[in-house]
A and B are shown apart, each in its own frame.
Chain A
Amino acid sequence: MQDKNIIQVRNLSKNFGHLEVLKDISIDFKEKEVVSIIGPSGGGKSTFLRCLNLLEKPTSGSILFDGTDLCAKGVDINKQRERIGMVFQHFNLFNNMNVMRNLTVAPVKIKKMEKEEAEAKAMDLLKRLGLEDKADYYPSQLSGGQKQRIAIMRSLMMDPDVMLFDEPTSALDPEMIGEVLDVMKQLAKSGMTMIIVTHEMRFAREVSSRVLFLDGGKVDEDATAKEFFTHPKSPRLISFLDKVL
């Protein structure tokens, strides 16, 4: 079970006009893996992540999600996206909905879950976060850390097979980073497959099973977390780690 590939990236390239952002990347992600992606700004980390659920359309190559080629004609991308959760740097909670509706709108409208059932499930998640008193709040009334934890729960409400995180703590005040990372750690422990773009080196080292170094549109290093930080091989990674650690 541990060995089943959930996402297979094949010869993925992405250009923005003349700018080649991703260059022929092929890589696999296994079920229950927690993979961190680090790299310098502009290296293509966000673009790579956004290609995995087709928020960006690959220029060439393919993304196989649980065996389905997401770029193939006739594939219902909306159906596939239900199974791929995404957490953004700027939370992107639906501003016109309160917390409860943010959590329940997708399961109710897309999965046709009963409203009561969805609300009970949402309440359960909120209680675990200690945020049950915030159910009626609107996003503008929440702190960054609260927003991001609720955004994670919004994705979890759909019972996704994979969760993608794009710098989930980069827009947070330092004192709120911990509470979000804690939720992510619990999620990792529960066996969720996670792909995380992050600048939190300590978190990457503690929680990930694997770490990728994405630089200049290529995966320059792909190693276990321990190997990655203690015996980096790529010269660019070595100089990158020198700078950030």
Chain B
Amino acid sequence: MSFFEQILALLVRYYPYFLDGVKNTLIISALSVVLGLFSGTLMAVMRMGRIKPLKWIAVAYIEFIRGTPLMVQLMFIFYGLPMIGITFPDVSFIPNFSRFMAGVVAMSMNSCAYIAEVIRSGIQAVDVGQMEAARSIGFKSGESMRLVILPQAVKNILPALGNEFVTVIKESSIVSVIGISDLMYGTNGVIAITYRSLPALAIAAIMYFIMTFIGSRLIAILEKRMNHAR
């Protein structure tokens, strides 16, 4: 059997493993980016704000998360949180819910730090003259942000946010180590059954690539729309 035929054979026989994995990978990634977007926005506001203690907390958090491996963070959440008494409940209708939540929390906390930086740099890339013009005509600082700065910052932020989503899809493969049935976990399952590691990995790689490729195309389209809109 050629390599291509091996891939086909695996797909025909084990496609539910892969599809289920793709589904879970997408769910985890989407949840992580959405939660990361909310917490990251909050973190960016804290970091840029005037309240010193909040600023320090935000800076420390962002630097720490960005300076340590996701794998370590994931282990910390998965093993560490139960030790200090924080456990996610098991929900009957979603198998492995507590594991799943640990993975989502770790990924979101990680994403939060990166997204906070994306938002901060997107806002700071807007010419300071825009804020000065808004303030000098009589807008309050919040109004200036809302009417003038943020609409311009979004244009800087969106593409970077798209990149973050693509990164998260790839990085999320790490949650398979705590037993979350994502695409990588499914792939390992197929390998364990069939011992055909190379074709299985090739399938995983192609599926990851399809997800990230579609993701980045969608973002490119969105970007174009926005440029037309203005």
Using C-beta atoms within 8 Å of the partner chain, give the interface range for chain A.
20 to 34
Of the candidates B129, B132, B137, B230, which one forms a contact with A106 in the assembled complex, judged by CB atoms under 8 Å apart? B137
Q: How far is the CB of A236 from chain B (nearest CB, A)?
A: 30
Complex CA gap A197/B152 in Å reads: 29
**CB-defined contacts of B230 to chain A, threshold 8 Å:** 96, 138
Give residues 118-134 of A contacting B (CB, 8 Å): none
* SS class, residues of chain B in contact with chain A: helix
Does A55 lie within 8 Å of B132, measured CB to CB?
yes
Q: Which of A36-44, A79-87, A211-219, A220-228 lies at the binding interface?
A: A79-87
Residue of A nearest to B152 (CB): A96
Using C-beta atoms within 8 Å of the partner chain, give the interface range for chain B.
10 to 19
Of the candidates B136, B139, B151, B152, which one forms a contact with A86 in the assembled complex, judged by CB atoms under 8 Å apart? B136
Give residues 125-150 of B contacting A (CB, 8 Å): 127, 129-130, 132-140, 143, 147-148
Is the C-beta of A2 less than 8 angstroms from some C-beta in chain B? no
Complex CA gap A78/B137 in Å reads: 8
- Known interface pairs A96-B230, A105-B147; A155-B129 also in contact (CB < 8 Å): no
Is the C-beta of A109 less than 8 angstroms from some C-beta in chain B? yes
The contact sample of 19 A-B pairs, CB cut-off 8 A, is A53-B136, A55-B132, A55-B135, A78-B139, A78-B140, A79-B138, A81-B137, A82-B137, A85-B136, A88-B133, A92-B130, A92-B133, A94-B133, A94-B148, A96-B151, A106-B137, A106-B138, A109-B139, A155-B137
Q: 3 closest Cβ contacts across the A-B interface?
A: A92-B133, A82-B138, A92-B129
Residues of B in contact with A (beta carbons under 8 Å apart): 127, 129-130, 132-140, 143, 147-148, 151-152, 230
